[in-house]
């Protein structure tokens, strides 16, 4: 089974790229979506988050806007939150991979925002990064509810520069133009990684070999 790590900085269009992989029949594990599930009503992390950040739960679910304000600009508080969420996300990812192998899926995608920053690409056969011009990224991010220039700048400091991500990735998915073009690029990636061909046989011995 081929594992493709999908990543990209904030506002680069990673969610749309993940939807395109799903449209093509590729199972996708969405780390952000899993975090939301963990903190929604009945989520497995709600109790631990409430004990660590009292008063942050409303109607059985974590108030993610209030939680974001609680940890914004506070590295120690952010680490406390991550110590709750990250092990649970990793466990869910492991279950996802086990289920995919049991189904004998040819390929899966791990959609992880900080894939390269955390070294998660070591667990993938290939990586793909979504990218767009900075002015497109900025416009997308600032259109989000509650987003400010200060928050945008703070998020960027926690993420690897886009140019470095593109340099390290096996595949680059541009999302700044018509999304039809992005879909075609994604379709080509799926074909390359699932087609039985000499390229796959060769790269099986060297999964970090670049394919352009």
Query: Span 93-115, mean pLDDT?
Result: 94
CA distance 174 to 186: 10
Average pLDDT over residues 110-117: 94
Q: What is the pLDDT of residue 209?
A: 36
Return the domain boundaries, the chain.
Answer: 1-27+107-212, 39-104
- pTM of the full predicted structure? 0.85
Average pLDDT of the residues in 85-114: 94
Q: Estimate the crossing angle of helix 31-39 against helix 75-103, to 10 degrees.
A: 110
Q: Mean pLDDT throughout 199-211?
A: 38
| DSSP code of residue 32 | H
pLDDT at 200: 40
Q: Looking at domain 1-27+107-212, which of 3.40.50.460, 3.40.50.300, 3.30.420.10, 3.30.465.10 is its CATH number? A: 3.40.50.300
Whole-angstrom distance, CA of residue 172 vs CA of residue 182: 10
**Sign of the alpha-carbon torsion through 188, 129, 12, 133:** negative
What average pLDDT score do residues 85-103 get? Answer: 95
- The pLDDT-based confidence of 73 (bands split at 50, 70, 90) is confident
What is the H or E stretch that residue 172 is in? strand 171-174
pLDDT band at 196; cut points 50, 70, 90: very low
């Amino acid at each position: 089974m081929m594992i493709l790590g999908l990543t990209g900085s904030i506002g680069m269009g990673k969610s749309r790229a993940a939807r395109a992989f799903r449209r093509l029949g590729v199972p996708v594990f969405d780390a952000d979506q899993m975090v939301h599930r963990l903190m929604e009503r009945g989520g497995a992390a709600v109790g631990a988050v409430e004990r660590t950040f009292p008063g942050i739960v409303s109607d059985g679910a974590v108030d993610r806007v209030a939680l974001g304000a609680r940890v914004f600009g506070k590295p120690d508080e952010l680490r406390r939150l991550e110590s709750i969420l990250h092990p649970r996300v990793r466990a869910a990812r492991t279950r996802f991979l086990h289920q995919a192998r049991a189904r004998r899926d040819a390929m899966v995608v791990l959609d992880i925002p900080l894939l390269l920053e955390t070294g998660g690409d070591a667990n993938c056969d290939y990586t793909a990064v979504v990218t767009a011009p900075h002015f497109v990224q900025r416009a997308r991010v600032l259109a989000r509810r509650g987003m400010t220039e200060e928050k945008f700048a703070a998020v960027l400091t926690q993420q690897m520069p886009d140019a470095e991500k593109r340099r390290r990735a096996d595949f680059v998915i541009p999302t700044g133009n018509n999304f039809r073009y992005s879909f075609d690029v994604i379709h080509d990636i799926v074909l390359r990684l699932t087609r039985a061909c000499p390229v796959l046989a060769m790269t099986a011995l060297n999964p970090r070999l670049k394919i352009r």
